Amino acid sequence: MTEAENKNRYPLDSLVQIMKELRGPGGCPWDREQPHESLKRYLVEEAYEVIEAIELKDMYKLREELGDLLLQIVFHAELACEKGAFDINDVVAAIVTKMKERHPHVFGRQQLGSPEEVLEQWEELKDREKARTGRRETLMDVPRGLPALLRAEKVQARAARIGFDWPEVQGAWDKVKEETEELLQAFRGGDPAEIRAEYGDLLFALVNVARFLAVDPEDALNRTTDKFIRRFRSMEQQAKDQGLDLSGMNLQELDKLWEEAKSSENNGKISSLNGF
């Protein structure tokens, strides 16, 4: 092994050993009492922090957050190891095998010409694998732990695989209009359960439109939320500069600041979230 190759080689052994010591006698009282269930929230949080680092294009932060996410993976593997189920080596071996089996166009002789063909083959191979191991799922076996918009998109995409889908985007648009009217009727009726149900139907219909438009609904909503935050922060700064308190202003005054914030952003005077 060359010096350059050795420099880029960093096994997980040291991290696994640290986790064993944290969980072992004389280790950390908090780490020692954690089961898989109590760690679920941290796994999700760390994954979202990785996403944030990617969106910020902050490579230093990305390196740090990937490490935090990796720690959660090692933590869960250690818990499984203590129960005699599997260890981190089994985790790595399983994903290596899966990646080779799911990429016969790379590790075999098969030829594929587009990303779409790769994705189609991936799903076919996954279905065959589950049938072979007796773990066949229905198309609707989508994890509940996913963000709601992402889960809805996956459910719709799976239904579309067997042709249960609108033939074109107009059908999805018409459904949005239908669900909007039904939500309005539910609102007029005043039944909280009915309002919630119709609101969910409208969101589901909007996700369908996003799928036809090749828009990631989760990303689109996050971007709009970021935009709102930027503009609201600008409003706060404007009010501060004028010696005003936002909480003491009426809606008309707040609207005026909002429009000024929008104008400033359109003119490039408001920095992105990275700058806050």
pLDDT at site 275: 36
Tell me how crowded residue 103 is: count the other CB atoms within 10 A of its CB. 16
Please tell me the CATH code under which domain 3-101 is placed: 1.10.287.1080
**Residue extents of the structural domains in the chain:** 3-101, 103-132, 148-215, 218-275
Residue 105 pLDDT more than 70?
Answer: yes
Mean pLDDT of 67-74: 97
Q: How confident is the model at residue 134 (pLDDT cuts 50, 70, 90)?
A: low
Query: Which is higher by pLDDT, 276 or 116?
Result: 116
Mean pLDDT of 194-216: 97
pLDDT at site 114: 81
Q: What is the mean pLDDT of the chain?
A: 88
The C-alpha atoms of residue 233 and residue 243 are separated, in whole angstroms, by 15
Residue 178 pLDDT more than 90?
Answer: yes
Burial letters 197-229, b for 16+ CB under 10 A, else e = ebeebbbbbbbbbbbbeeeebbeeebeeeeeee
pTM (predicted TM-score): 0.67
Q: Which fold has domain 148-215?
A: Helix Hairpins (1.10.287)
Q: In the structure encoding, which two tokens stand for residue 184, read together?
A: 């309005």
Confirm whether 3-101 and 148-215 share one CATH topology.
yes
Residue 273 pLDDT more than 60?
Answer: no
Mean pLDDT of 39-48: 92
Angle made by CA atoms 165, 182, 211, in degrees to the nearest 5: 30
Mean pLDDT of 192-196: 97
Mean pLDDT of 108-135: 75
